[in-house]
Amino acid sequence: MKVAIIMGSDSDWPVLEPAASQLAEFGIETEVLVASAHRTPDKVHRFVAGAGERGVQVIIAAAGAAAHLPGVIASFTTLPVIGIPVNATPLAGMDALLSIVQMPAGIPVATMAINGAKNAALFAAQILAVHNTELAAKLMAHRQTMAEEVERKDARLAQKLAAPN
């Protein structure tokens, strides 16, 4: 199992690093690349055109501002593309969100929240888990762990509120 993570600038890495970490927790290999839809379009095309041959099954693409990278990638492949709008301008990522989410019919890009790298990784894992029962079990265990953490937080708060001042 392999997921590609592509960003328009290395300054996007702090936003995307949680996706790479989450995928690693599930044992999913990643390829990470900096490539610009505007400044290095040939590099983007070459990377995407060969992605399937390299075993990539899902592509996560992040971009800020005009945020064309996820859509350009989607136009070059039938692999699932997950777009992450990055908060990189005075518009706080809304420009990127609207650019990614408003793809024309026929070239879909699944769009996450602004800076939503962790959910992008989880969604990529869910796509891969459709035909991988081991990964599906890891995803269910992850959800159980999150539920248990919520219960611990609830109990701590209830205890704090019940304690006399």
- The single-letter code of the amino acid at 151 is E
Contact between 38 and 60 under an 8 Å Cβ cutoff? The reply is no
Annotated binding residue at 39?
yes
Annotated binding residue at 46?
no
Q: What is the DSSP letter of 79?
A: S
User: Three-state SS string across 142-158, please?
Assistant: HHHHHHHHHHHHHHHHH
Annotated binding residue at 12?
yes
CA distances from 148 to 23, 86, 141, 142, 157 (A): 21, 30, 10, 10, 14
> Alpha-carbon distance 59 to 81, whole Å?
5
Binding residues: 9, 12, 39
Binding residues for substrate: 9, 12, 39
